[in-house]
Structure 1
Amino acid sequence: MTTNDRPLTGSTTIGDWLDHPEGGALVREVLGQGGAFDESSLAPVRGLPLQQLVALSQGQLPQAVVDDLVLRANDGVFPEEAAVGADDATGPWREKTTPGRFAGKTVVVTGAASGIGRATASRVAREGGRVVAVDLFADKLEALVADLADVDVALVTVAGDITAQDDVDRIVAAADGRIDALANIAGINDDFSPLHETTDAMWDRVIAVNLTGAFKLSRAVLPVMQEAGRGSIVNVASEAGLRGNASGNAYTVSKHGVVGLTKSAAFMYAGQGIRVNAVAPGGVATGIPFPANVSEVGSARLRPFQAAIPSVATAEELAASITFLLSDDAVNINGAILASDGGWSVQ
């Protein structure tokens, strides 16, 4: 049990686990066995729930390890998560939806099968919006549908490639004549390579997905929004769109391009009831997977700056920023690049 008589659970923060005399010993035992983390690497994620380590490890730390830690910390019994207290201001951040915020609206969300895109699609649906969920992976989209089976809204899935015009046309057709908002979230990472190491293949693919895909889909939905006289587009940029020391050359260029795409469109359509903004995440617990081979030169150069990340966010925390800008709550915000990065951009 924790020092405040609450059980250690998967929702308890990593920091609380490490600071607890029994829980800390258990976590350090797991860390001592090697694998995805050591204690120093957990410093930026102390405020995240222990459960988030499963996603952060990208498969190296299985769910069974977290479950075993919870069992061992509670004498072999799984405690009720509700005992932690959903409204406890001292615990980890917990998502609180705004019922009806997207009622009557159709929102297109790309990258909807995983990570930030999935969290965004889920939140829009749970707040009453009709979602056109787009991703390459049909099976993962079906899993999203299953998870939202109890939500009384329409959820349309489109398995397609946002870099292919035919698939972009299918996405717009699936919206059936109404598109109130678009969240351009689909993205891929590069291999941290500096310019002299960046291959044509890496450059072409990263630019295509991160920038050209957002351009093509935005271009396709804007006539629908213009006809309606309203609309909101939110692009996902990155800390790499604000600085040069956050990622490799291709990814950095692509995200700087997203910032330019956002600002130009915000200016061009400002008088037509259409708002265009971007969110610039820093570290994300369910971040974009890296390629198998990462540049040693680029990684060595970037490492000191990436070590300065003050905190790592969950996908749900990023979805909170994105859905705010998508919604009418952001009625007076246009052309903004919202740094949702735990303060990394002000360091």
Structure 2
Amino acid sequence: MISSPPKLRDELEVIRGMDDIPLIFDPVTGNYHRITRAGEVVLTYLDGTRTREDLVALLSRADEARAEALSRQIDTFLAALDKSGLLEGSAPPDKPQDTGRVRTSMLMPRIVLTRSLPRLLEPVAVVLRAVPAKLLVLITSLLALVGYSFGFHTLFTAMPPAKDIAGPAFLIATGVMLLCVFLHETAHALVAQILGTPVRGLGVALLFYFMPVAYVDRTDAYRFRGRAGRVVLAMAGILSDGVFCGLSGVVALNSDGLLRDTAALLLGMQLLMLIVNLNPLMPSDGYTAIEAATGLTNARGRAFSLLRHAVRRQELPAHLAHLSTAARRGHMTYGVFSVVYVCLLAYAMFHAVPVTVDLSLSAVGR
């Protein structure tokens, strides 16, 4: 029930997130609630001294026509705040999300392995904060670029065909790759720590209840407003993978036997991981970086909607018709790229299935 006069809970924090978007942070649940800039103005008056009628009169400035519209909007806004448990006297908010080790969702249950990363990473973050940010990003990017170039050149020019690699190398490479995945997520966590928005935890999610995926909870990244920092945060894992890819290439070129075979397989897995992390159709690191750099949300949905209407020669809906010609072309280019990406990935996976089966059987001696 909405209290009268309505009052925002004292412990709530109103902040500005990416691209200056107003947010309400609830420390009890750990949730962020996005609001409009008009809603942010209304929040300044929810101090428990003004009734709903006072708010309408104050904001409408004695304009009866405007008062009628504002009345409906304020009712809707207050109802949303009440439903979210953000007003004094409204239903208590849900229990904190970060209690317990296991969280469930419709398609991706999550197991939290540790919440100690901020404490462990802070000594490293202190040292890195002393380095100019642009220099740090430049060095890391160059190392990643050199690493990817060297590693994949080694994979395609100096390594034996995957079908000729047998024995336990596949199992060892898989174990090392799992470690690389956690280091990938730790890189995200380290950048978040440097930016002053520590991650909430490191864990494993089961995509569709059977596919293990490592993750870090970057919910508080909403607090960081700069686009450049958010792009680096999104790309941190990919950059760290580039460094490890280069190291794998060095090992592969300077070894033989089991160690060489393991490094060769690891390079192949790292190539696959890069392809997955650049997937334009999922909330991958690459897609997140694009959103952070452009300030766009749901670019994927707009792109495919534009393509669909273009193919069917249908009139564009209002939310797409107002896009500039350049923005429209950009979205459609993104949509075409996504379609081509899926076709190439499906082709590659189809041809990789027999080799993967052979490697798995050889790893268990069959």
Which TM class, normalised by the smaller chain length? under 0.3
TM (norm. structure 2) is 0.26
Structure whose alpha-carbon radius of gyration is higher = 2
* Between structures 1 and 2, the one with greater helix share: 2
TM (norm. structure 1) is 0.27
